[in-house]
Amino acid sequence: MAVSDYSSRAALTAVDLVNSHDVMTGEERLASEAAAAELLGRRGWVVDRPLSRVDLERLRGLRPRLRFVFGNAVVRKSVADLNGLLRELGAQPQLTDHDGAWHWHYARPRAPLAERVATTCVVALLTVIADGGAARLRICDRTECGNVFVDASRPGSRRFCDARGCGNRVHASAYRERRRGAGSEGSGGSGDEQLSSQ
């Protein structure tokens, strides 16, 4: 699935924000304004002044509203909710070339960073849906993981939030289960042979 770098960055920011609260353990990974600034900085957002407590709470409050669209089979409901959030945020689309390339901005001019992040993330998720990718907004298949991800793979068959983490754990567990099954069959067979030879 092809998305622009700008949309991709915002969609991945949405994923990072949602995953910053572990729904399985309750762990809070967005514990401070500095943690929020670091998360945004990793995704290329310019954080040119310290985030406030209000910014932090806005970003935290955004998470459940974004999480809802991942794994949601009712696409119209996802779109209606995201459109409602855009209205609440007072989105004002405008084309700009402030960094040398034409691209869309969606937040109202001079909006606080948390509002700009929220608006851009919502638009990025709507763009994924509009491009036929609603089914690519997924929740990790590993039972013990509640992380979300955007499946941007060509075949659209990605199952895990992290192939090296969750993917390896699931595959290793399945392998051990198969070995256990094969071992019990093998030990049963050898026991029968020993009994028949006595």
- Can you give the pLDDT of all 198 residues of the chain as single tens digits? 445 555 789 999 999 999 999 999 999 999 999 999 999 999 999 999 999 999 999 999 999 999 999 999 999 999 999 999 999 999 999 999 987 889 889 999 899 999 999 999 999 999 999 998 899 999 999 999 999 999 988 898 999 998 788 988 787 766 577 777 766 665 554 444 443 333
Please compute Rg for the chain using Cα positions: 22
Per-residue confidence (pLDDT) for residue 198, from 0 to 100: 36
Q: Residue 104's beta-bridge partner residues?
A: 95
CA 103 to chain centre: 23
CB burial of residue 72 (10 Å; 0-12, 13-18, 19+): middle
Alpha helices by DSSP H, the chain: 5-19, 33-42, 53-67, 75-89, 113-128, 168-197
* Distance separating alpha carbons of residues 82 and 105, to the nearest angstrom: 17
Per-residue confidence (pLDDT) for residue 169, from 0 to 100: 77
Per-residue confidence (pLDDT) for residue 174, from 0 to 100: 60
* Distance separating alpha carbons of residues 79 and 75, to the nearest angstrom: 6
What backbone phi and psi angles, to 5 degrees, belong to 59? -65, -40
CB 45: neighbour CB atoms within 10 A? 17
* Distance separating alpha carbons of residues 195 and 198, to the nearest angstrom: 5
Per-residue confidence (pLDDT) for residue 146, from 0 to 100: 95
Please tell me whether residue 105 adopts helix, strand or coil conformation.
Answer: strand
Contact 3/127 with Cβ under 8 angstroms?
yes
Per-residue confidence (pLDDT) for residue 5, from 0 to 100: 58
In 3D space, the residue among 3, 1, 6 whose CA is nearest the CA of residue 95 turns out to be 6
Per-residue confidence (pLDDT) for residue 51, from 0 to 100: 95
How long is the chain? Answer: 198
Per-residue confidence (pLDDT) for residue 164, from 0 to 100: 84
